Amino acid sequence: PNGRWENVRDRHELYCAGHLMEAAVAHYRATGKKHFLDSLCKFADHIDSRFGRDEGKVRGYPGHEEIELALVKLYHATGNGRYRDLASFFIRERGEVPYFFQEEARGRGEANGDFFGTIERMKHWQAHAPIIDQQEAVGHAVRAGYFYAGAVDIAREQGDIVLLDACKRLWTNIATSKLYITGGTGARYEGEAFGDTYELPSESAYAETCAAIAFILFSHRLLQVDLDAKYADEMERALYNGMISGVSLDGRNFFYVNPLSYTTVPGEKKRHQRNTNRRQEWFGCACCPNNLSRLIASIGSFAYSIDDAQDTIAVHLFIESKVNLELGATGTEVIITQETAYPWNGDVAITMSVEKNARFSMLLRIPGWCNHHEININDEKVDAAIVNGYARLERAWRDGDLISFHMDMPVARIHANPRVAELHGRVAITRGPIVYCIEGADNGKDLQQLLLPASSALQVDTEPSRLGGMPCITARGYRSRIKPSAINALYTDIEGELVPEIIRFIPYHAWGNRKPGDMLVWIRECMVCFPP
């Protein structure tokens, strides 16, 4: 067709090719059949013939990153190093001067071609500088997450410490100043982009479902090269909150964006079109539903990892599961059966099955939210050394050995860094990895009027008829009301009143599954409240 590869900045040819390659690899791994894989190898060969540094090739890269991850997977499935090298080219060429998107626009005769050569504009595509020189996460949050994840893949494959350090620097920038408490990323509707440092608005948050997924992929890849629980903690935060909130409890409807506050406004004129309190059946740009399906189907691959060199098996996520693993160094076959009701309680039972006694280490993640835990093996308490957030259990394992792992899971009050201006005087409620919110279905309208005293007890409340029996939280609080004499005044010197009220919190990911209404994560907190 005419126009092929002439506008890789705006058209998603390479992005779609990447997803199709990932599908082909998944199909091959699931079925052993190669017809789909072989077709996509031909497609990858074609792309490799068009892009690169060799004479006659285009020194370009995709406008929407994703193919970088897919090419590495294709390399692992086929052993063809050209696919890995092409991914490396796309990662390393981005940000080089002259800017490819500027040259491409000029070639198409676009009058504003020079506009796409400005550094600020190029930040949208993370193409303003080579990745090793980038200091903060900028631009489109989904593209960025895929780009950084692909860069970790290449750093790992090529042993590039400089590239890996750049990825860690960018991850830290997100996790310490640009990440929502739900694990969402992307503060701005404009450009679906990261905001400035500590720019984390609640009502206008974009926090696209795909951006949470991209951050999960980024965190998981760093976890594979640097076994540090901080990566698994943030991966889990996004999984149980800002990612899974993107799908309704019955799996039929979807959120594109995931704000942390929703206030009903007549006419809905103040919001961008995707900010809604009703999940949609589908979207014209339907990336999020498919991405959710893909991630949920592959969740098992995030739960465990093996380090053959160290003879270790690491447990990253606590999920009811059964997995067959083989330690490559010794050829030891291990079957791990995990039984748990996590994240609703902190008890995990892990049964070890081995054909013969074998010495290796089991590493259990101690979540960052957990202040007290206990580990027993065959009903005997063990004091395990904790390194980088993982408890190390090294022993000669026998068939039937049982690890009982308990994590205290109290309700916690979380406060934001004071540099997040919008969240001054507000508190979020969590329990384990779950972030909670208040919703109109339980608390009526005008949620901004509610106040939670700092001294108020937070009680776990399980009601089978509410949200399938999910643990909810209740507390005594107040609603601030305007006195009738001042009801029509925009400003007044007449003091309001505080009315006692029971406040009910539900898991954030479950909001919007009942009657449409308001929602709020960060509730106003009062240090001292005096009842009327």
pLDDT tens profile 169-208: 999 999 999 999 999 999 999 999 999 999 999 999 999 9
Give the number of other CB atoms < 10 A from CB of residue 186. Answer: 30
Whether 497 is catalytic: no
Mean pLDDT of 346-369: 96
Crossing angle of the two packed helices 141-158 and 209-225, in degrees rounded to 10: 20
Q: What is the pLDDT of residues 374-393, one digit of tens each?
A: 999 999 999 999 999 999 99
Cα–Cα distance measured from residue 182 to residue 207, given in angstroms and rounded to the nearest whole number? 9
Give the number of other CB atoms < 10 A from CB of residue 515. Answer: 9
Peptide bond before residue 532 is cis, with ω within 30 degrees of 0: no
Question: 319: helix, coil or strand?
Answer: coil
- pLDDT over threshold 60, residue 214: yes
- pLDDT over threshold 80, residue 24: yes
Question: Environment class of residue 166 by beta-carbon count within 10 Å: exposed (0-12), middle (13-18) or buried (19+)?
Answer: buried
CA neighbor of 352 nearest in space, from 327, 329, 372: 327
- pLDDT over threshold 50, residue 222: yes
Cα–Cα distance measured from residue 173 to residue 188, given in angstroms and rounded to the nearest whole number? 17
Cα–Cα distance measured from residue 428 to residue 430, given in angstroms and rounded to the nearest whole number? 7
- pLDDT over threshold 90, residue 463: no
Amino acid at 425: G
Which residue among the candidates 287, 370, 526, 529 is catalytic per the annotation? 287
**Burial profile 424-452: b = 16 or more Cβ within 10 angstroms, e = fewer:** eebbbbbbbbbbbbbbbbbbeeebebbbb
Give the single-character DSSP code of 114: G
pLDDT of residue 81: 98
Which residue among the candidates 13, 22, 68, 192 is catalytic per the annotation? 192
The DSSP-derived string for 499-525 is EEEEEEEEEGGGTTSSS---EESSEEE
Kindly state the tokens that stand for 279.
């999940």
pLDDT of residue 119: 85
Q: Which residues pair with 503 in a beta bridge?
A: 475
Confidence of residue 273 (pLDDT cuts 50, 70, 90): low
Give the number of other CB atoms < 10 A from CB of residue 251. Answer: 11
- pLDDT over threshold 70, residue 269: no
Cα–Cα distance measured from residue 504 to residue 450, given in angstroms and rounded to the nearest whole number? 11
Q: How far, in Å, are 52, 69, 437, 491, 523 from residue 46 at the CA level?
A: 12, 17, 49, 67, 54
As a whole number of angstroms, the longest Cα–Cα distance in the chain is 81
Whether 287 is catalytic: yes
- pLDDT over threshold 80, residue 117: no
Mean pLDDT of 332-355: 96
* 28, 33, 34, 40: CA torsion to nearest 10: -50
Question: 302: helix, coil or strand?
Answer: helix
Q: Specify the pairing of strand 261-262 against strand 304-307.
A: unpaired
Contacts 24+ apart (CB under 8 A), 478-487: 478/450, 478/451, 478/453, 478/526, 478/529, 478/531, 479/446, 479/449, 479/450, 479/451, 480/449, 480/450, 480/451, 481/449
Torsion 70-73-74-75 (CA) sign: positive
pLDDT of residue 111: 72
Q: Which helix (H) or strand (E) holds 90?
A: helix 81-93
Give the number of other CB atoms < 10 A from CB of residue 319. Answer: 18
Full set of structural domains in the chain with CATH: 162-261 (no CATH), 303-407 (2.60.40), 411-526 (no CATH)
Confidence of residue 328 (pLDDT cuts 50, 70, 90): confident
